[in-house]
Chain A
Amino acid sequence: MAAGVAAWLPFARAAAIGWMPVANCPMPVAPRDHGKRQDELIILNVSGRRFQTWRTTLDRYPDTLLGSSEKEFFYNEETKEYFFDRDPDAFRSILNFYRTGKLHYPRHECISAYDEELAFFGIIPEIIGDCCYEEYKDRKRENAERLMDDQEENKDNKLPNMNFRETMWRAFENPHTSTMALVFYYVTGFFIAISVITNVVETVPCGSTPNQKDVPCGERYTVAFFCMDTACVMIFTVEYLMRLFAAPSRYRFMRSVMSIIDVVAILPYYIGLVMTNNEDVSGAFVTLRVFRVFRIFKFSRHSQGLRILGYTLKSCASELGFLLFSLTMAIIIFATVMFYAEKGSSSSKFTSIPASFWYTIVTMTTLGYGDMVPKTIAGKIFGSICSLSGVLVIALPVPVIVSNFSRIYHQNQRADKRRAQKKARLARIRVVKTGMSSAFLHNKRNGLFNELLELPCSEEVEQHLSKTASLLESQHHHLLHCLEKTTAHEFVDEQLYEQNCREGAVQSYPSCSPSLSSQEGPTGTCCTHQARKNPLPDASVPPTCQGALQELSAVHIQCSDQPALSTSRSSLNMKLDDTSRLNCKSGLITTAIISIPTPPAVSPEGDSQPLTSPSMQTIASSNAVKVSTL
């Protein structure tokens, strides 16, 4: 029942008195209204802005936060109001929903922020009114597409355990992933170009022999062209078979447009090989050669613009259909009129209505070849009307197609730009984070220094400490310290660790574990210049990514799949096995994110050494785990 109508329920109940005299049976007892409360004003304080409304207004929707008893959690006893720490602008539309029964989507609002607000207050977005629903759905779709683009980007990064087939498929789909793929990409492109040029040059008249007229080059240098054709077709065949082998779903691949183009491009050659000895169908064979021109469509794998064009045409199919239909109608009408108008003229070319079709088409598309012209006055008048209307009919659907193309093209541009900017963006974020995370190590030296020397914390030291570290920071550092104590290892900064590694006898590459720093994916920068010998599973990604701790997330980055801390423990256990290696070989280079750094590998030794900063060097001999702060 709609909100406002609830106010009319008393009226409907009162009007039920009209049934009473005609009723034969006694009526049921009316429900008692316990504790009839006077309608009271509720104050909702949203980030300082006070909204007031009647309690009954909020009670209209009992399955939302404000309408149920859930709002009691936010009740502030002293000020006797409900306090919500949310965006007051978005709250306006939510409160209006209670008042009017219609939820509106404000256009200037960001779609994900609005969604979050709705989710917080327990309102489903499907009840957005018709006036705003279209806009909401459009924005949501755009956003989802954008997120999907980003996710696909992430998926592109190499998963550690891909077999040969998957690698090959990835290489085919994304030439930039490896050098081999790039080479292959260019080679196929080159051969496509060669093949097309060959087809074209084949027909050029190529010098004449004395007793014959010009022969096309194809007939003059048959063998050369045949060899060229064979080579191209072989390359294409090999490519097609390789793609077929590597495709994750062969059936789907075979049905895709690109594979059909591939097949059509190479089929004429094979058919030609089979049929050369059969004279009857040689005419058909010649026709088949026309299909060789389809090889040019293979370029669409190489050119994104071409793909966009194709996609646009596909999505504008209805507009194109309309254009075609209206043109056909107009052509028939004008052809008929022109035929009858020109019927009287003696040497008229308009011999029949189909013959007039040609004139009409040429005129409507403003080509005007001039091979057919009207001679009578009536014919000329109708001819001019024909050309004017042609311009109009063609101009109508074109803007729709253009706007579709523009939208798709810009979307692609934006995706490319985002990808390009992503690297720079992430690099900048990393710089900021590095500054912040080294605060831990810095503070640790100062703090632990005090602790281990067991100085009674004098007032000045305390004050000094508290000046340099906020409560949040100190709590965070305490937490990291606890972790160190638990694992009997310590956090060390990068240079120290490098030193330790160099001093160690074993040289082997430490393996990298993925970081959680951002959506960029599992490979952190530490690994870029090291061979990925033993890729670890995404084990050491800590689950906690609370944005609450200020230091921790300078920039709130959405964390995707976060395996539990237990898995990182399991990586610890894995490392326990090679106890023989005491050195940095068993250490993980874990990229410490601002949240919680990944637990370092366990070592058999404890760290009972003094931890003053000069003595940091001595830790080198034990298993100080390097934490390269990102």
Chain B
Amino acid sequence: VVSVAWETEGLQTLGIVVIVCASVKLLHLLGLINFTEDSIDDEQEQSMVRHRPEALEKLEAQTRFSKKELQILYRGFKNECPSGVVNEETFKSIYSQFFPQGDASRYAHFLFNAFDTDHNGSVSFEDFVLGLSTLLRGSVQEKLNWAFNLYDINKDGYITKDEMLDIMRAIYSMMGRCTYPVLKDDAPRQHVEMFFQKMDKNKDGVVTIEEFLDCCQKDENIMRSMQLFENVI
């Protein structure tokens, strides 16, 4: 009798184990628990966006580059981005390579937004070349306009102190740690104060485009430095 009792107990153990396994499997089927950790890699399918730029003649008309210059620009562009568009990550990585000592990703972010005029998250060759055309072949007014656009993060027509502080911090972070003299923490803030003192004529705490243009055109240093990169291409 004792052995029979123990045998039923053994069978009971077996039954319990079977029920536990079955319920675990059921929960897995229902997706409530995951056995494998790496089931998310299916979602990251890279969608190959292929973008073909407009015809060479149209671009030549829209920008101030010659055909040959456009050819050279496109070859370099396509070499680095075979799919024809630059997304923000690639843009950041490319720009960061020029500033190995510091962190250029924040400034690259602002730059990306400045180039991505239609705000679709990627910079195509047209955006790229239009931006370059303004920067390299545009009039001083256009260049200053572009710079204002860069600083005005939310594109509302006013540069606030906070926006300027962001930009300044981004620029200073490209310097990195090892500088001479040693970079103080409030250096960006001081720089912003100086900037606003110079630019904000009516002291209302924001800089408008007119104030900006006005002030820059009066400053000789700025005007001279605007011509610095004339012959880059």
For B146, the closest partner residue in chain A by CB is: A17
Q: Is A378 an interface residue (CB 8 A)?
A: yes
B80–A17 contact, CB under 8 A? no
B147–A21 contact, CB under 8 A? yes
B3 interface neighbour in A17, A18, A346, Cβ under 8 Å:
A346
A8–B216 contact, CB under 8 A? no
Q: Which of A7, A25, A38 has the most CB of B within 10 A?
A: A7
Tell me which residues across on chain B come within 8 A of A1, comparing CB atoms: 97-98
B10–A341 contact, CB under 8 A? yes
**Which residues of chain B from 132 to 172 have any CB-CB distance to chain A below 8 Å in the complex?**
132, 135-136, 143-144, 146-147, 150-151, 167-168, 171
A125 to chain B, nearest CB (A): 24
Tell me which residues across on chain A come within 8 A of B171, comparing CB atoms: 19, 22
A417 to chain B, nearest CB (A): 46
Q: Which of A26, A344, A346 has the most CB of B within 10 A?
A: A344
B97–A16 contact, CB under 8 A? no
B147–A18 contact, CB under 8 A? yes
With A22-B195, A376-B10 as known contacts, state yes or no: A2 contacts B97, CB within 8 Å.
yes
**A-B residue pairs in contact (CB < 8 Å), sample of 15:** A4-B79, A5-B80, A11-B132, A14-B229, A18-B111, A18-B150, A19-B171, A20-B228, A22-B167, A22-B171, A22-B191, A24-B191, A39-B72, A344-B2, A346-B3
Q: What is the 8 Å Cβ interface bit string for chain B, positions 158-198, against chain A (1 contact, 0 not)?
A: 00000000011001000000000000000000010011000
B149 to chain A, nearest CB (A): 9
A-B CB contacts (within 8 Å), total count: 121
Q: Is A9 an interface residue (CB 8 A)?
A: yes
A13-B229 Cα distance, complex, nearest whole Å: 7
A4–B10 contact, CB under 8 A? no
For B79, the closest partner residue in chain A by CB is: A4
Tell me which residues across on chain A come within 8 A of B72, comparing CB atoms: 39
Q: What is the 8 Å Cβ interface bit string for chain A, positions 16-37, against chain B (1 contact, 0 not)?
A: 1111111111110010010000
For B198, the closest partner residue in chain A by CB is: A24
With A17-B146, A25-B221, A26-B224 as known contacts, state yes or no: A341 contacts B232, CB within 8 Å.
no
A7–B3 contact, CB under 8 A? no
A377–B7 contact, CB under 8 A? yes
Q: Is A370 an interface residue (CB 8 A)?
A: no
With A344-B9, A345-B6, A346-B3 as known contacts, state yes or no: A23 contacts B225, CB within 8 Å.
yes
Q: Is B67 an interface residue (CB 8 A)?
A: no
Q: Is B119 an interface residue (CB 8 A)?
A: no
Tell me which residues across on chain B come within 8 A of A343, comparing CB atoms: 6, 10
Q: Is A340 an interface residue (CB 8 A)?
A: yes
Question: Residues on B close to A: CB < 8 A?
Answer: 2-3, 5-7, 9-11, 13-14, 68, 72-73, 75-77, 79-80, 94-95, 97-98, 111, 114, 128, 131-132, 135-136, 143-144, 146-147, 150-151, 167-168, 171, 191, 194-195, 212, 216, 221-222, 224-226, 228-229, 231-233
Q: Is A379 an interface residue (CB 8 A)?
A: yes
B95 interface neighbour in A12, A17, A22, A24, Cβ under 8 Å:
A12
A378 interface neighbour in B10, B75, B212, Cβ under 8 Å:
B10
A27-B68 Cα distance, complex, nearest whole Å: 30
Question: Residues on A close to B: CB < 8 A?
Answer: 1-2, 4-5, 7-27, 30, 33, 38-39, 340-346, 376-379, 381
With A344-B3, A346-B3 as known contacts, state yes or no: A377 contacts B10, CB within 8 Å.
yes
B232 interface neighbour in A14, A340, A346, Cβ under 8 Å:
A14
A344–B7 contact, CB under 8 A? yes
A17–B135 contact, CB under 8 A? yes
A299-B63 Cα distance, complex, nearest whole Å: 85
Tell me which residues across on chain A come within 8 A of B146, comparing CB atoms: 17-18
Known pairs A8-B76, A378-B14 / 14 extra A-B pairs, C-beta < 8 Å = A14-B132, A15-B111, A17-B135, A17-B146, A18-B114, A21-B222, A23-B221, A26-B221, A27-B221, A27-B225, A39-B72, A342-B10, A344-B9, A345-B6
In the A-B complex, list the 5 residue pairs whose CB atoms are closest, starting with the nearest.
Answer: A344-B6, A7-B76, A378-B10, A14-B135, A27-B225
A10-B143 Cα distance, complex, nearest whole Å: 16
With A1-B97, A21-B212, A341-B13 as known contacts, state yes or no: A33 contacts B7, CB within 8 Å.
no
B232–A13 contact, CB under 8 A? yes
For A340, the closest partner residue in chain B by CB is: B13
Tell me which residues across on chain B come within 8 A of A19, comparing CB atoms: 171
A345-B2 Cα distance, complex, nearest whole Å: 9
A4-B75 Cα distance, complex, nearest whole Å: 10
A601 to chain B, nearest CB (A): 67
For A380, the closest partner residue in chain B by CB is: B10
A561 to chain B, nearest CB (A): 45
With A344-B3, A376-B7 as known contacts, state yes or no: A10 contacts B147, CB within 8 Å.
no
B148 to chain A, nearest CB (A): 8
A485-B123 Cα distance, complex, nearest whole Å: 80
With A14-B132, A30-B229 as known contacts, state yes or no: A378 contacts B195, CB within 8 Å.
no
A607-B229 Cα distance, complex, nearest whole Å: 82
Tell me which residues across on chain B come within 8 A of A7, comparing CB atoms: 75-77, 79-80
Tell me which residues across on chain A come within 8 A of B10, comparing CB atoms: 341-344, 376-379
Tell me which residues across on chain A come within 8 A of B229, comparing CB atoms: 13-14, 16-17, 30
Tell me which residues across on chain A come within 8 A of B11, comparing CB atoms: 377-378
Q: Which of A7, A12, A17 has the most CB of B within 10 A?
A: A17
Tell me which residues across on chain B come within 8 A of A10, comparing CB atoms: 73, 132, 136, 232-233
B128 to chain A, nearest CB (A): 7
A5 interface neighbour in B3, B94, B150, B225, Cβ under 8 Å:
B94
With A18-B111, A18-B114 as known contacts, state yes or no: A27 contacts B228, CB within 8 Å.
yes
Tell me which residues across on chain B come within 8 A of A345, comparing CB atoms: 3, 6-7
A17–B226 contact, CB under 8 A? yes
Tell me which residues across on chain B come within 8 A of A30, comparing CB atoms: 228-229, 231
A119-B176 Cα distance, complex, nearest whole Å: 38
B2 interface neighbour in A346, A379, A381, Cβ under 8 Å:
A346
For B199, the closest partner residue in chain A by CB is: A21
A255-B191 Cα distance, complex, nearest whole Å: 70
A598 to chain B, nearest CB (A): 58
A7-B98 Cα distance, complex, nearest whole Å: 12
A346-B3 Cα distance, complex, nearest whole Å: 6
Tell me which residues across on chain A come within 8 A of B2, comparing CB atoms: 344, 346
A614 to chain B, nearest CB (A): 77
Tell me which residues across on chain A come within 8 A of B114, comparing CB atoms: 18
Tell me which residues across on chain B come within 8 A of A15, comparing CB atoms: 95, 111, 135
Q: Which of B5, B9, B212 has the most CB of A within 10 A?
A: B9
B168 to chain A, nearest CB (A): 7
For A30, the closest partner residue in chain B by CB is: B228
